[in-house]
Structure formats: C-alpha cells, structure tokens
Amino acid sequence: MDEKTMVSDTLESINSELGRYGEMIPQTENVQLKQTLKQFRNQCEQSQEEIYQIARSRQYYIPAAKATAEEIGHVRSILTQG
C-alpha cells in the first residue's frame, strides 16, 4: 500500500468517525458523556486537519475551485427561502 492510499484511507476513516460523533452527541442525555464525546470530536477534527494538510502539501488532494460570488448568492437565496 502506498502513502497516498494510506493518507486517503485515514481521511476517510476520520470523516466517518466525525459523522458518528455528530450522530451520538445530540442523542446523549448524560452531560459528562456529551462533554467527553465533544472532546473526542474536537481531537478528531484536529487530526483530520493535520492529515488534510499533509495530503494537500503532497498533492494527494486537490480541492475544488472556490465558488463564485454568484454561486454563493444563489445557494444563500435557496437556503433563506421558506
């Protein structure tokens, strides 16, 4: 397995874990458990950012082009309707 694949797999795993925390936190009534899950989520987000920066620096990941002001305005208008 090459480094690019390992970095990609790691990012995919972290993103999946972040999704699970996002599902668990609002469903938890125990305040201490909720705080612990939030701390784990924050640590996970930090790890995700570090791996993402590695992927970008080695050109394993190329982000999509930035949205234009027109595209942002269009999405904003859709989300604020209703």
In order along its 82 residues, the chain shows pLDDT tens digits of 899 999 999 999 999 999 999 999 999 999 999 999 999 999 999 999 999 999 999 999 888 899 999 999 999 999 999 6
4 φ/ψ angles, rounded to the nearest 5 degrees: -60, -45
Return the beta strands (E) in 4-68 as ranges: none
pTM of the model: 0.73
Q: What does the alpha-carbon distance between residue 37 and residue 42 come to, in Å, rounded to a whole number?
A: 9
| pLDDT for 82 | 64
